[in-house]
Each structure stands twice: as C-alpha cells, then as structure tokens.
C-alpha cells in the first residue's frame, strides 16, 4: 500500500491516470465509483457498464459527476475518454474493446455473466480485477490460464476478506512463520436464511436481499475461503469447514486448534462465528526456530506452538482501488490460484428439492454453498454452487444433502459451464496429502 500511494501520485502528476472500466453499478459499484472519483489520485473511472443504464448514471452522479454520455460502441467510448467525459453503456463489450480502458473492474457478483465479460476483456489485452468471489472461487484456475495466455493479470481485490487474508498470509510468511489457518470472522451463520428473512437487513443497508442472504447462509464465506484455499494451497478440515462458534478474542483461538493436525492437513481455511475483533480475519502460524519463539514470548505473543495474527476489519470498496493499482502498475495480484484447485464450493439443498424445480442460485430459497476439498468434490461429481443458478432438478434431493451433476439438468450453452469443463480437463484437483 505504501508503494502504491506514491505510484498513484506520480500518475496523477503526469496526468496519466489509470483508466478503469467498471461493470456493475449496484451498491458496491456505486460505492467504488464514489471512492475512486473522490479519493484516489492517479485513477479514473472512465466508463460504467450496467444492465440498466440509469443505475450507471446514478453511480456517476453519486460520485459527483453530472455530465454523463451514453455510448454504444468502443470508438464512441474512446472519443468520450479523450474528451474527459464520463460514459455509460449497457454493453460490456464496449468496455472490453475500448483501446482507452486499462483495466476492467468486475463488480456484479454474478458467475455466468461475469465469466464471459472477464474472458473477453482479457482476450482484448486488459487486466481484470474481480470484486466477485463467486466467480473467482468457481473458475479462478482457468481464468488464470487465460490471463497468462494473453499476458494480462486477473486478480481478486483488497477489502473483501479473501484479499485481506492473503495480504496477512503474505506478511506472516515473510516474517518466517508458517501459516496453518487462514480464518474469517463472522457474526452470523444460519444456512436456512432466505431472501424473505433477510429483506429488512437488506433494505436497511441498501443491499439486495439475495446478497444479504448469501452473507447469512454461509455461501459467501464459503466462496471467500475457497478463494484463499486456492491461492495458498490450503484445504478444509471437513466439508463446510469447522465453523465453530467462539465468543472470545481471536488470540485465544490458538488454543482451539491442534498444530500437529493442522500440519498433517497442510494448513486449512476456516471461519468462526462470534469472535472479536469482528468483522476481521486471522492467520494462525507456527515458527520452527526456538530462539524466535523465545522472542515471541518477550513480545507478549504467547508460548506457541500457534501464534495469532489478525486484521480487525475489512473495508470493502475503500481498499479495492489499491488492488487496481497493484495489478496495473506492478502486475501484483492480490489473490490468484496457484494452479489446480484445492477447494470447491458445492451446492447443498436448503429445502427438499423435487424433480422439475428450477434452482434460484446464490442467495436464494433453494440452495446454499459449502466448501469441500476439490478432490472429493470432483470424485463425487458434486455440483458447484457457482453453476447452480437456473439448473432444473431431475431427482429428489433432501434438505441439507449436497447436489450432484446427476441431480440436475444444466441450462443450455452457458459460458461458465464451458469454462468449468475446460478447467476440469486442464487440472486434476490438488490431491489431499
């Protein structure tokens, strides 16, 4: 971050800002536009794409920019950018094809729509920064292959928990410690929450009810921790993670895990409900040098074998612009898969499902997501949560049972399904040691 601020100041002084094309103008997209336009020198949101153009216009106006031009082609967008005029469109290909856009910022939270947009942006030579853990957890490994093919960077973002965890993981490892748990602190986890139960919370905070539901039912934390697992090589101790309720300080979690078991697993991703400080993230790590462990006692960090490191917050849209700068200026991804996936997020029945039911996907009434080790998920043919939306049930599945590909008929000709198949063909899931 300290390097990034100086680099952005230099771009501002040279009047060569990073030109961001943003896809998605929901609550997070509007907050991002406000943040970049008001507080980030050396960066500009030059275009916003949204299915409803009025929402894209609203994002600019909330960011203090009232003169907005609608465009339908990449040349028209290029001309608007040369004039310094903010532009909006409902066609993401306009941003992808524009020669004047440096980086695509994807903020929809969708998998099928976003997969096509991100692939096209990279094919056109643009970096892609994802505020979309759902896409990253489902198709991150193959997206990295495509990014490498076109010599661009695809990355998750700071601010969301996976990015904050990865920053902490990298920092802890750089101190000579061995991270064994990457954890996420949650305030609520109830797998049976629905848009009906979460509507009031969503209305209070200006969110969609489906987004609020994915937070509450555990789907979002599952996607987040799968992103971290695939970027670190960690796994889950069991399907769904350990997910204990723990009312205490995160430092006390060092007594809740067995270091030898963690080593045998090769490190795990996990979450806890109720710990403080919330809503932060934590890393539990060991150190093999007795002399350094003595210094940890001196520094009042405990006796080991596990030591606690944590970040007490994640600031979502405030931090995302840092990721854009890291990617464009330094080609430094915040989160990116190592290669083969280590963890998948699998669809699980939220209610009894019957033949003919059409699944309503992430944050809906029908299914929730759980982390599972990739090897086990692929061997059993489990349905990825990121592909569940729109699937038609062909068999009965009881509540809380995981779904398989054999239980559903997939919608026709989806980009995400094609990429999933390509990902399976390219990678064998990383085996559990």
Q: How far is CA 109 from CA 52, 105, 135, 165, in A?
A: 16, 12, 7, 19
Q: How remote is the C-alpha of 110 from its chain's centroid?
A: 11
103, 123 Cβ separation under 8 angstroms:
no
| Beta-carbon contacts of residue 145 (< 8 Å; ≥ 6 apart) | 426
Query: Which of 323, 230, 315 minimizes the C-alpha distance to 22?
Result: 323
Q: How remote is the C-alpha of 93 from its chain's centroid?
A: 23
pLDDT of residue 432: 55
Residue with tokens 């769904």: 240
Interatomic CA distance for residues 414 and 423, integer angstroms: 14
pLDDT of residue 433: 44
pTM equals: 0.96
pLDDT of residue 428: 81
| Beta-carbon contacts of residue 198 (< 8 Å; ≥ 6 apart) | 209, 212, 213, 215, 216
| Beta-carbon contacts of residue 118 (< 8 Å; ≥ 6 apart) | 104, 106, 128, 130, 135, 143, 154
Residue with tokens 């990721």: 323
In 194-333, where does DSSP find H-type helix?
Answer: 195-205, 209-216, 219-232, 259-265, 290-298, 320-330
Interatomic CA distance for residues 215 and 127, integer angstroms: 28
Interatomic CA distance for residues 367 and 192, integer angstroms: 9
Query: Token digits for 408?
Result: 């559903």
Interatomic CA distance for residues 288 and 278, integer angstroms: 30
| Beta-carbon contacts of residue 51 (< 8 Å; ≥ 6 apart) | 90
pLDDT (tens digit, 0 to 9) for every residue of the chain, 433 residues total? Answer: 579 999 999 999 999 999 999 999 999 999 999 999 999 999 999 999 999 999 999 999 999 999 999 999 999 999 999 999 999 999 999 999 999 999 999 999 999 999 999 999 999 999 999 999 999 999 999 999 999 999 999 999 999 999 999 999 999 999 999 999 999 999 999 999 999 999 999 899 888 999 999 999 999 999 999 999 999 999 999 999 999 999 999 999 999 999 999 999 999 999 999 999 999 999 999 999 999 999 999 999 999 999 999 999 999 999 999 999 999 999 999 999 999 999 999 999 999 999 999 999 999 999 999 999 999 999 999 999 999 999 999 999 999 999 999 999 999 999 999 999 999 999 988 765 4
pLDDT of residue 431: 64
Which domains, and CATH codes, for the chain?
2-159+317-330 (3.40.50.720), 161-314 (no CATH), 343-426 (3.90.1210.10)
pLDDT of residue 35: 98
Identify the DSSP state of 202. H
In 49-180, where does DSSP find H-type helix?
Answer: 53-62, 74-82, 92-97, 112-123, 133-149, 161-174
Query: Token digits for 379?
Result: 């061997």
Interatomic CA distance for residues 314 and 162, integer angstroms: 10
138, 385 Cβ separation under 8 angstroms:
yes
What pairing do the DSSP bridges indicate for beta strands 178-186 and 68-70? unpaired
């Amino acid at each position: 971050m300290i390097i990034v601020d100086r680099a952005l100041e230099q771009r501002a002084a040279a009047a060569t800002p990073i030109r961001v094309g943003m896809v998605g103008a929901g609550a997070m997209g509007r907050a991002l536009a406000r943040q970049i336009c008001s507080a980030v020198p050396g960066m500009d949101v030059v275009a916003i794409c949204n299915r409803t153009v009025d929402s894209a216009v609203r994002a600019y106006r909330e960011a203090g920019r009232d003169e907005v031009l609608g465009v339908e082609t990449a040349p028209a967008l290029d001309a608007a950018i040369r004039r310094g005029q903010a532009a909006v469109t409902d066609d993401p290909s306009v941003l992808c094809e524009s020669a004047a856009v440096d980086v695509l910022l994807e903020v929809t939270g969708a998998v099928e729509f976003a997969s096509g947009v991100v692939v096209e942006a990279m094919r056109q030579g643009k970096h892609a920064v994802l505020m979309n853990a759902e896409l990253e957890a489902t198709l991150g490994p193959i997206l990295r292959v495509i990014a490498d093919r076109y010599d661009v960077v695809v990355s998750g973002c700071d601010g969301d928990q996976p990015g904050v965890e990865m920053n902490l993981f990298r920092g802890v490892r750089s101190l000579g410690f061995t991270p064994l748990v990457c954890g996420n602190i949650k305030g609520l986890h109830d797998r049976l929450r629905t848009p009906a139960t979460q509507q009031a919370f969503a209305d209070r905070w200006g969110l969609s009810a489906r987004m609020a539901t994915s937070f509450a039912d555990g789907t979002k934390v599952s996607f987040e921790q799968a992103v971290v697992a695939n970027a670190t090589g960690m796994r889950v101790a069991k399907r769904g993670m350990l997910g204990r309720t723990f009312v205490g300080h995160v430092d006390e979690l060092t007594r809740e895990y067995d270091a030898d078991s963690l080593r045998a697993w090769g490190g795990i991703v996990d979450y806890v409900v109720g710990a403080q400080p919330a809503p932060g993230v934590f890393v539990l790590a060991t150190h093999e040098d007795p002399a350094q462990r003595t210094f940890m006692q001196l520094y009042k960090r405990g006796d080991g074998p596990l030591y606690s490191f944590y970040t007490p917050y994640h600031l979502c849209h405030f931090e995302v612009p840092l990721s854009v700068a890291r990617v464009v200026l330094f080609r430094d991804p915040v989160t990116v898969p190592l290669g083969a996936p280590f963890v998948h997020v699998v669809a699980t029945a939220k209610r009894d499902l019957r033949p003919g039911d059409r699944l309503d996907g992430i944050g809906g009434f029908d299914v929730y997501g759980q982390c599972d080790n990739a090897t086990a998920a692929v061997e059993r043919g489990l349905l990825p949560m990121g592909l569940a939306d729109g699937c038609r049930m062909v068999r009965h599945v009881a509540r809380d049972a995981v779904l398989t590909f054999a239980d559903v008929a997939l919608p026709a000709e989806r980009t995400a399904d094609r990429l999933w198949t390509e990902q399976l063909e390219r990678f064998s899931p990383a085996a559990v040691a």
